A and B are shown apart, each in its own frame.
Chain A
Amino acid sequence: MTLETFPLLTVMTFLPLVGALFVMLIKGSDDTRVRNNAVNVGAFISFCVFGLSLVMLFNFDTETSDFQFVENVIWFEALNLTYHMGVDGISVFFVVLAALLTPICILLCKQSVTSRTREYVVALLILETLMIGTFCALDGILFYIFFEGVLIPMFILIGVWGGPKRVYAAFKFFLFTLLGSVLMLIALIYMFVAYGTTDIPTMMFDPLAGDIQFWLFLAFFASFAVKMPMWPVHTWLPDAHVEAPTGGSVILAGVLLKMGGYGFLRFSIPMFPEATELFAPMIFWLSVIAIIYTSLIALVQTDMKKMIAYSSVAHMGYVTLGIFTATTNGVEGAIFQMISHGLISAALFICVGVIYDRMHTREIKRYGGIVKNMPKYATLFMIFMLGSVGLPGTSGFVGEILALMGAFQADTVIGTLAASGLVLGATYMLWLYRQVVFGPVENKDAAAMNDVNGMEKFALIPLAAMVIWLGVQPNFVLDRIGPSVENLLNNYYTAISLPTDELARMGR
């Protein structure tokens, strides 16, 4: 069987689900053995998926903007529903990101999750299926199922393995996302009626005429903005992060936050171009507010996870900003920023997890001076801290500078205000690092902590290497996303130059 006929995306999507079934079947009287077996099987499966994702990445054709590895079979004939999968430059790296972070989370749970480890692994594997499915699905309904399905295992991860206020956090997460997804579902149904199909490539670059575009845009926006999350619907994120276990936070920050941005690029811009143009200024301002407002909030946080969660909101501000500038630099910067943030914020949450496992507190004040007995940890943490700050030479810089460049091209006021995040971001991250890692040792427990162990190194060192590698050689990513972004923008500009009545004459 050659790669052309091998259903790579389907295997990648559903292998974790099959693995989850296997893990569920692991039984035994010895708890530790069940635990170890569950983790090992889960890790093995997810590593296989990661390997497949690399196969996909290295066979990805950088010359075309078409969907690749496409599988298209009729699923529900009466409804003209298809099981349509495929990746292009915009989605391919998110698949790899999901496939990379899942095995790391599964391995790390060996030391951070003490109860119901088997179920934890099952939840993560199901989550992986849904995440990869979201980024591969090329049918609206299929996308919707994956996209909303992600909620369930995430809800469970927070609700079962979370901190003391986990139920409140899980419900908040649920309430916010539910609001958006209901509207999106209604919009999808309307589009099904209008187009007669929910096939994404069919709907792309073939916009509906008239005001309906604006309503559909808003309905999708409600869902994506919550997932992003954009200001002012971001308040579920800090609570969710604070209560979630380390693995949950890593996946949440690393992959789930990218689904909103991906949605904007897959649905909003190509399907509702006129509405995009109309609403772009509003989104610019929401993004700028997100950057400044949440950075200032991050500055006064006393809880490590909350601070990093708020910093995520600020970083996602660059993403929405970049996407809606509809410039090559802006959109490529936004995608790069999402990938980079996926690595950096995931690593930062692992870093927090490392010391949380040792001290069982997220209170910044309780730490201090840990560089003395944890020098390796300090070095790794510093790399991610600098990445988050956007230091040139790390991946954080490339995304930020491109997104800001796009923003500045679109509007100098917005570009300047957003660039103030360079200063604010540095302030809260350096402050966090200084409080936790540097300074005199004030807490005896903090002084007694051991440096990172083998498993933690195994998780953090590759991430650090990737952050630096993508900072020095970002073209590996940019070359692959380039053609798709170019195609997206070309079609976008063609679409908005067509007046609405002409679209009406074309029968839409």
Chain B
Amino acid sequence: MILETLAVFIPLITFIIAFLGCKIIGDRGAQFLTCTGIIASAVMSCMLFQDVILDGNVRTITLMTWISSGDFIVDWAIRLDTLSVVMMCVITLVSSCVHVYSVGYMSHDAHKARFMSYLSLFTFAMLMLVTADNLIQLFFGWEGVGLASYLLIGFWNHKHSANRAAMKAFIVNRVGDLGLALGIFVIFILFGSVQFDTIFVGVNDVIYDTFPFWGYEIHALTLACLLLFIGACGKSAQLGLHTWLPDAMEGPTPVSALIHAATMVTAGIFLVARFSPLYEYAPDALMVVTYLGAFTAIVAATIGMTQFDIKRVIAYSTMSQLGYMFFALGVSAYGAAMFHLMTHAFFKALLFLGAGSVIHAMSNEQDMRKMGGIWKKIPFTYAMMWIGSLALAGIPYFAGYFSKDMVLESAWADQSSHGNLAYWLGVTAAFITAFYSWRLLIMTFHGKSRASQKVLDHVHESPLSMTLPLLFLSVGAVGAGYVFYELFVGHDREHFWANSLFILPANDTVEAAHHVPMWVKKTPLVAAVSGIVIATLIYGTGGKFAGFISKIFKPLHALFFNKYYFDELYHTIFQRPAIWFGALFTKWGDQKTINGLGPDGIAKLSKGGAGILSKLQTGYVYHYAFMMMIGLVAVISWIFWKMIEW
């Protein structure tokens, strides 16, 4: 009881103290407090891992009632099962690394305490999200992480670009949240509750039910799952609602590592996995998830290989990897998706923090065209980026190898047309992933330096507070796949996941993935290695060849480089019409029509209206008020008098 409550609420307490009391405890105090708090929370989460998962003490602790209105009853609670505890461990461990790293990274910033407190706020909201036992608390965490993300993307709030990106993130996420909210409404009407356990128990009764939505009778579970998935798409940057993620790189790099790579963006994966009991009975919804995931994986990868901003490359890589996780969910391989989520958290946080170390060394330069030839000066960072890239590309025995192959094999093992498509798109994306990873490594660290001499003189390895977290994450990026394979997707998986995931026996693709032909297992590796080789050939020989290729495929390159013109499209179909309608309604709606026919019109109609009004408007408001009062009294007395006569 105390342990789990503390694990969740320590970050909230440290947030409040560091935010409100930063003047009293100072920057040092705030850094110490938040770091200690989050490390304590991480230790407790690991203890819960032992207790809840390995010893099987699954439980829900209800803290207090939150909202009760009629049948709509919502608690503040901590639900501990395998799914939530795995998430807790990932969140608190990565968050600890990022907290410590931030002490070094933000050492020149004026608002250290505020930054640290926001990180803690984020961690708290994320923990509330994953430990929710009902949809409304999940929604609280869901929007809470959105708020923290907004605050942290816009942390440097004197910059227009940062503010724009922060606002964009919040609003695009709100579109997703709108879907999630509607999904919650449908589920509440369907099950009469928003409590997970009640919902999951009730699924059997509504498998064939339909729901009247906008005049159509739609299969209820499919509708609910699709609406929830809209929410997942917003948070996890899937195609259509992804445009905020690359822009979110305006935030400080530790933020990108924690929120926009390792944890918050995986909330969508968590949501779908949590609702596996519903998704299993909504095959159409699963198919949509698969398709969208697969297309996101490939589209994001193609954009990533043309970008020059080091953080944006990794951001598109994140989006692409999230696509992998979604199509794994779509083929019912929930365990594989969670496995990839976990390993990805380690190696992607490592890559981001490594990139942060590079940026720190290069005096805040993020453009890879202005880097190169610095590997000898920052060998440790260089090694870390190699480890991260090897894990991302899925080279054997690094973490990504186990999880990504599992995802791809499950997709193939689904033996459906969408599973097959996901497999092949995934393999292609794996090739591109390896390609852009080595493009990044070579452009950043190798060749002749393209930076100015002043920047180069300043290049230095990062302080211990930054390198230590990198080292810790690299251990995860190397070993997490091998160590947890059996638990997440291997022989022990049924005991491990217990009842937190639900898979229909016919949909057990993770089991089937163990029996796929050899070529299915080997093709992703071949794709990855060829990606590395080709990237080395093209970029290792200087940038000329790359320019030549992009010229040959000019239209395609333009499409990739301009991110498939999503931003331009949205600007045209949403932003501009909204402003246009706003202006239209102001002028023609309120002013001309309503006021024109109403008060202004009356004033004009009355003979010489303007003249009379201006004569009336002598400014002695007391006179009018007095007249009103006399009028009111007169009217009421007249009524009384009339009434008495009756």
Contact = CB atoms under 8 A, between A and B. Distances in A.
B97 to A, nearest CB: 27
Interface string A438-471: 1111000000000000000000000000000000
Interface string A180-204: 0000010001001100000000000
B622 A329 contact: no
A155 B624 contact: yes
B502 to A, nearest CB: 26
Contacts of B625: 152, 155-156, 159
Contacts of B67: 398, 402, 474-475, 478
Contact of B70 (A175, A299, A329, A426): A329
A420 interface: yes
- Of listed A329, A333, A402, A420, residue having the most chain B CB within 10 A: A329
- Of listed A170, A413, A438, A482, residue having the most chain B CB within 10 A: A438
A232 interface: yes
Interface string A137-150: 00001000100110
Contacts of B158: 369, 372, 438-441
B579 interface: yes
B207 interface: no
The prevalent SS among residues of A at the interface is helix
A402 B163 CA distance: 31
Contacts of A416: 182, 214
A78 B644 contact: yes
A212 B388 CA distance: 77
Contact of B175 (A423, A434, A439): A423
A472 B66 contact: yes
A434 B163 contact: yes
A121 interface: no
Nearest to B162: A438
B72 interface: yes
Nearest to B176: A423
A412 B163 contact: no
A405 B628 contact: no
Interface stretch (A4-12, A92-100, A386-394): A386-394
A89 B632 CA distance: 30
Nearest to A159: B621
B590 A297 contact: yes
B621 A167 contact: yes
A332 interface: yes
Interface stretch (B138-146, B255-263, B397-405, B411-419): B138-146
B602 A189 contact: no
B628 A332 contact: no
B213 interface: yes
B395 to A, nearest CB: 42
A371 interface: yes
B154 A438 contact: yes
Contact of A170 (B157, B170, B621): B621
B516 interface: no
Interface string B64-105: 011111111000000000000000000000000000000000
A422 interface: yes
Contacts of A79: 640, 643-644
Nearest to B20: A379
A438 B582 contact: no
Given A408-B185, A438-B154, A155 B69 contact: no
Contacts of B171: 423, 426-427, 430
A192 B621 contact: no
17 contacts: A79-B643, A145-B632, A152-B629, A155-B625, A160-B622, A176-B598, A235-B598, A293-B585, A296-B585, A333-B69, A413-B214, A416-B214, A439-B163, A440-B160, A475-B67, A478-B69, A486-B70
A-B pairs, top 5 by smallest CB distance, nearest first, are A159-B621, A328-B70, A300-B582, A392-B140, A408-B185
Interface of B: 65-72, 136, 139-140, 143-144, 147, 150, 154, 157-160, 163, 167, 170-171, 174-175, 177-178, 181-182, 185-186, 188-189, 212-215, 578-579, 581-583, 585-586, 589-590, 593-595, 598-599, 602, 613, 617, 619, 621-622, 624-625, 628-629, 632, 635-636, 639-640, 643-644, 646
Given A171-B617, A412-B214, 20 more contacts: A78-B644, A156-B622, A172-B599, A185-B639, A193-B646, A233-B594, A233-B598, A299-B578, A300-B579, A328-B72, A408-B186, A408-B189, A415-B185, A420-B178, A422-B174, A422-B178, A422-B181, A426-B171, A430-B171, A475-B68
